[in-house]
Amino acid sequence: MKIGYVGDSKIQSFHSARRFRLASYSSEKFFEYSKLNIEGISDNITYSVESNLLFYRIRSEIIPFASHEICNDNWRDKFKTSFEKIGTFIQDKCMRISTHPDQFIVINSPNPDTVKTSIRELQYHADMFGLLNLNSSHKIQIHVGGAYDNKNESIKRFIKTCKGLSKEILAHLAIENDDRLFSVNDCYIIYQETGIPIIFDTLHYAIKNDGETLLEAAHKSFSTWDKEDGIPMIDYSSQQEGLRIGRHSDEIDVNQFQQFIQLTRPLNFDIMLEIKDKDISALRALPFVVY
């Protein structure tokens, strides 16, 4: 069982998502920021391994505007060696990597332009995983998308789009249950048609479920993972008190987390903490998953 966090460490001062305005795009700035972000990813990953946090979610913004039409710069060849070096380290240390492209990735949209843009972003992530030489146990995680007044038709559009995706994207793609529209059972319909595994999100389950227990939902999600996918991944977080429903907590509730680990003890999975203080909470949670 591995545990990890999202993006840049809160303890260290590493940065992997430096950005600039689209209006100021230039090849010089593009390569400068990309180089610094790749160095930041390397620093975060090295630190995570040293801290025994062996699950890490890479920020999507490493290569600024990589999927945008403005980007004609060949970042893949430019940074091939840098990515290969990081990927070798990841594999040598038995680390696991994921990404979670932004909410604008909606491959079940009825708008063809939105779908096209979404696929370009997914291909960028798949290309990055390819440069890292990561196998299909490392995942690109997305939501199913919108319901657009007809959830069943939206699921059908998602499935149809998936069947046209590149093999590189499909090798890494995973979906998660969300907190508004698509439960584990809804995601399972997609799995049955596509083979795309389900990442079980605990907070989303608490908000949106079909009356099944947490263990039942976890078992169903985990059953979608095959040997090539590796052991299942979950997103773990809890509700921040006093804020909107679905807001991730600022810090981990250790007692609540310990109860969760005890409840799911028979199961084997890797845990991505979606907690605001990132590695601070991950280090507090680590003693409960190392056994």
Instruction: Label residue 173 exposed, middle or buried (CB < 10 Å: 0-12, 13-18, 19+).
Output: buried
In the chain, the number of structural domains is 1
Confidence of residue 246 (pLDDT cuts 50, 70, 90): low
CATH label of the domain that carries residue 242: 3.20.20.150
| Global pTM value | 0.95
Among 194-208, 237-251, 275-289, the least confident range: 237-251
- List pLDDT tens digits, range 15-29: 999 999 999 999 999
Mean of pLDDT values over 51-61? 96
- Dist CA 165 CA 53 (whole Å): 32
* SS3 category, 263: helix
DSSP characters over 71-110? --S-HHHHTHHHHHHHHHHHHHTT-EEEE---TT--TT-S
Q: Which position has the token pair 């038709």?
A: 153
Q: Can you count the helices (H) and strands (E) in the chain? A: 11, 8
Q: Is residue 242 over pLDDT 70? A: no
- List pLDDT tens digits, range 157-194: 999 999 999 999 999 999 999 999 999 999 999 999 99
Among 183-197, 233-247, 251-265, the least confident range: 233-247
Mean of pLDDT values over 231-251? 81
Q: Which residues of 104-135 are buried (b: 16+ CB within 10 A; e: fewer)?
A: ebbbbbeeeebbebbbebbbbbbbbbbbbebe
What share of the chain in percent tops pLDDT 90? Answer: 93
Residue 255: other Cβ atoms inside 10 A = 8
- List pLDDT tens digits, range 122-154: 999 999 999 999 999 999 999 999 999 999 999
Q: Which position has the token pair 């907590």?
A: 249
Q: Which domain holds residue 117?
A: 3-288
- Dist CA 100 CA 139 (whole Å): 9
- List pLDDT tens digits, range 76-111: 999 999 999 999 999 999 999 999 998 789 999 999
- Dist CA 205 CA 61 (whole Å): 28
Mean of pLDDT values over 41-50? 98
Confidence of residue 290 (pLDDT cuts 50, 70, 90): confident
Work out the mean pLDDT of the chain and round it to a whole number: 95
